[in-house]
């Protein structure tokens, strides 16, 4: 197994990956690694090259240059190491005239493995299809197909998960269940790579992000480091009356925004204890003070907006 | 992979209907000729004229009737589907990441093409034999204007005719399989395969285009009927060589296509 730049075990590794389709450069010199226990979100606007990257990582597309490795082994079409990878790529796909169960059996037994797979029960719980699992897939809704495909990816108890837009078609409760499931897998040592457009959702479960734009790497690293803290505090008060006046009078406070009993105070260079002290001195009870972090959406748009160019696949 | 391909294709309603049609045609023909049981079938000669004499006669006549068009269309339908259905459905990428290698995938598909071709041919024979037994009975194989064949001779010729027809159907299956790999959709491949059979049949009927027709496998598909005439096996050799060459060429192209194509392209 290879060592990542952080000195830990790289379960997924892309080194200098490049791919073009005709004159369109889909991916150019991309490199990143995902270690055990990490949930890495692959982000980028449409045409950034995310799906092309996932295809190369899975051996479905041969890179023009560079290499992809999973669990330290080079990946090609049908590579043996893929047996330890759970995959959802380019959306769900099934044999329409077969039942959900039959489809799962088909993909599992294609590699001469004995039914059932090791994590079938957990995967079916996540899919939550109930009796519909024994109905023909052609009658499934988009969400049902997505859940069945996720069950297919998870039933093999994978060491590595590579999922392209896994939350597509899922309702909020299903998204939360999926998030918890992925978190549990990562805590047990799996590496998870998720491509997604749902930034607010990604912010809730990703530990790391890789941002691409126009086929190139924009940034990669721990989510917390990339988001960082702002100079603003979120202050929760018992009674907001008079608080805005007190806060605005403080030296260093540049803006105060009130939302009921919550205030957002922009105060560069001001320590939180000074904010609390000023309020308490004025007889206003403070319930909590939190430093405001930037949202992933803000970070993402800052990194990717304004770029123009030919779209990649 | 063979089991995957077979369970995917043979359990389809349209496949079952197509196979049922192959078996139903001999049964309907038997019903139409039931009133002539034991006698010559109208004014017709050859295998058709003798079809009402016995179950085996009816089986061979059914094969001669179905083999030029209906049987190859069904065989092409199955072969095109085996080649292209997983791409049409999108399941091909999930097979590759299952993971299945290109070689295993191709071997499974070619095996499935062979089994389904055998099944389709078997349906014609079974339909002819069962309906012939029910309506004409089990009698010596009759040849109009000649002595009945002995049991051994009849069995040998029927087996040879079946094997030869199977080989011919494998050649159109191989051509259809390649079209299924090359063309974007299975429906387009099936259309092209059927057009090939029809065009080749038309060419075959044009004496002025004889030089082109002899290069196509379709030209030799009915040569097995000589087994039941004094000409015997004289024309079978060329037919066998052409069918095998077609199968080898198509299999070679299949290997090249499947091994060189980027599944994401």
> Quick one: which of B48, B72, B73, B49 has its CA closest to B62?
B48
> What range does the domain containing B128 cover?
2-260
CB nearest B89 (choices: A62, A93, A110): A93
**Is B102 within the bounds of a domain?**
yes
ipTM score for this prediction: 0.84
Q: Please indicate whether, in this complex, the C-beta atoms of A78 and B104 are within 8 angstroms of each other.
A: yes
pLDDT above 70: residue A4: no
Give CA torsion, residues B166, B172, B175, B176, to 10 deg: -110
pLDDT in tens, B204-239: 888 888 888 888 898 999 999 888 877 677 778 999
**Is B265 within the bounds of a domain?**
no
Beta strand pairing call for A65-70 and A160-164 = unpaired
Main-chain phi, psi angles of A249, to 5 degrees = -75, -15
pLDDT in tens, B103-159: 999 999 999 999 999 999 999 999 999 999 999 999 998 888 787 878 888 899 999
pLDDT in tens, A202-260: 888 899 999 888 899 988 888 877 776 677 788 888 877 788 888 888 888 888 888 88
Three-state SS for B5?
helix
Q: Would you say B49 and B152 are in contact if contact means Cβ atoms under 8 Å apart?
A: no
Q: What integer is the mean pLDDT of B29-43? A: 85
Q: Tell whether B3 lies on the interface with A, counting CB pairs under 8 A.
A: yes
User: How far A220 CA lies from chain B's nearest CA (Å)?
Assistant: 26
* A301's tokens: 């748009």
Q: Tell whether B138 lies on the interface with A, counting CB pairs under 8 A.
A: no
Contacts of B100 in chain A (CB under 8 A): 78, 110-111
Q: What integer is the mean pLDDT of B237-253? A: 94
Q: What integer is the mean pLDDT of A182-190? A: 92
pLDDT above 50: residue A7: no
How many percent of chain A have pLDDT more than 70?
93
**Is B232 within the bounds of a domain?**
yes
Q: What pLDDT is stored for residue A310 in this prediction?
A: 41
- Domains of chain A: which residue ranges? 2-226, 229-293
Residue A236 vs residues A78, A266, A295: alpha-carbon distances, Å: 55, 14, 20
Three-state SS for A294?
coil
**Is B143 within the bounds of a domain?**
yes
Round to whole Å and give the CA distance between A88 and A82.
12
Q: Please indicate whether, in this complex, the C-beta atoms of A61 and B105 are within 8 angstroms of each other.
A: no
Q: Would you say B137 and B53 are in contact if contact means Cβ atoms under 8 Å apart?
A: no
Q: Helix %, strand %, coil % for chain B, to 5?
A: 75, 0, 25
Contacts for B233 with CB less than 8 Å, ≥ 6 apart: B160, B226, B227
CB nearest B102 (choices: A61, A77, A94): A77
**Highest CATH level, class, for A229-293:** alpha beta
Q: What pLDDT is stored for residue B150 in this prediction?
A: 83
Q: What pLDDT is stored for residue A306 in this prediction?
A: 53
pLDDT in tens, A20-50: 988 899 999 999 999 999 999 999 888 889 9
CATH code at A2-226: 3.40.50.300
| Mutation choice for B interface testing from A110, A145, A193 by most B CBs within 10 A | A110
Q: What pLDDT is stored for residue A130 in this prediction?
A: 85
Structural domain count, chain B: 1
pTM of the model: 0.82
Q: What pLDDT is stored for residue B164 in this prediction?
A: 96
């Amino acid at each position: 197994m290879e060592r990542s730049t952080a000195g830990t075990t790289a379960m997924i590794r892309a080194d200098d990956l490049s791919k073009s389709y005709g004159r369109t450069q889909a991916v150019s010199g991309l490199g990143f690694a995902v270690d055990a226990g990490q949930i890495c979100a692959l982000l980028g606007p449409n045409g950034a090259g995310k799906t092309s990257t996932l295809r190369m990582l899975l051996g479905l597309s041969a890179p023009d240059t560079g290499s992809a490795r999973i669990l330290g082994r080079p990946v090609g079409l049908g590579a043996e190491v893929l047996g330890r990878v759970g995959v959802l790529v380019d959306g769900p796909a099934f044999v329409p005239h077969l039942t959900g169960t039959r489809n799962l059996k088909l993909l599992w037994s294609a590699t001469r493995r004995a039914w059932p797979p090791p994590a079938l029960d957990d995967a079916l719980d996540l899919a939550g299809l109930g009796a519909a699992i024994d109905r023909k897939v052609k009658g499934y809704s988009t969400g049902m197909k997505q859940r069945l495909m996720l069950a297919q990816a998870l039933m093999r108890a994978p060491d590595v998960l590579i999922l392209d837009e896994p939350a597509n078609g899922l309702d909020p409760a299903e998204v939360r269940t999926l998030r918890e499931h992925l978190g549990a897998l990562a805590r047990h040592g799996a590496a998870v790579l998720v491509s997604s457009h749902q930034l607010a959702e990604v912010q809730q479960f990703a530990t790391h992000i890789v941002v691409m734009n126009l086929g190139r790497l924009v940034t990669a690293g721990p989510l917390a480091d990339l988001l960082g803290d702002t100079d603003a505090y979120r202050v929760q008060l018992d009674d907001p009356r008079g608080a805005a006046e007190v806060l605005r009078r403080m030296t260093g406070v540049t803006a105060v925004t009130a939302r009921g009993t919550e205030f957002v105070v922009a105060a560069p260079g001001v320590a939180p204890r000074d904010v609390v002290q000023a309020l308490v001195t004025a007889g206003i009870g403070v319930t909590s003070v939190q430093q405001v972090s930037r949202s992933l959406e803000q970070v993402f748009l800052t990194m990717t907006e304004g770029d123009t160019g030919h779209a990649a696949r | 992979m063979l089991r995957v391909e077979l369970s995917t294709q043979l359990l389809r309603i349209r496949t079952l209907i197509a196979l049922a049609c192959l078996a139903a045609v001999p049964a309907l023909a038997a019903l139409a000729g039931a009133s002539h049981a034991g006698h010559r079938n109208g004014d017709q000669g050859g295998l058709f004229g003798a079809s009402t004499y016995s179950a085996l006669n009816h089986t061979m006549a059914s094969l001669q009737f179905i083999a030029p068009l209906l049987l190859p269309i069904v065989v092409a339908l199955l072969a095109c589907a085996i080649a292209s259905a997983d791409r049409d459905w999108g399941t091909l990428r999930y097979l590759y990441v299952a993971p299945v290698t290109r070689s295993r995938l191709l071997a499974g598909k070619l095996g499935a093409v062979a089994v389904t071709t055998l099944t389709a041919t078997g349906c014609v024979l079974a339909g002819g034999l069962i309906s012939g037994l029910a309506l004409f009975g089990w009698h010596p194989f009759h040849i109009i204007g000649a002595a009945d064949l002995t049991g051994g001779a009849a069995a040998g010729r029927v087996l040879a005719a079946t094997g030869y027809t199977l080989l011919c159907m494998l050649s159109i299956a191989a051509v259809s399989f390649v079209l299924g790999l090359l063309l974007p959709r299975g429906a387009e491949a099936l259309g092209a395969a059927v057009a090939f059979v029809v065009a080749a049949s038309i060419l075959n009927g044009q004496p002025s285009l004889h030089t082109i027709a002899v290069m196509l496998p379709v030209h030799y598909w009915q040569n097995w009927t000589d087994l039941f005439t004094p000409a015997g096996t004289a024309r079978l050799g060329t037919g066998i060589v052409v069918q095998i060459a077609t199968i080898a060429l198509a299999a070679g192209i299949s290997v090249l296509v499947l091994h060189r194509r980027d599944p994401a392209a």
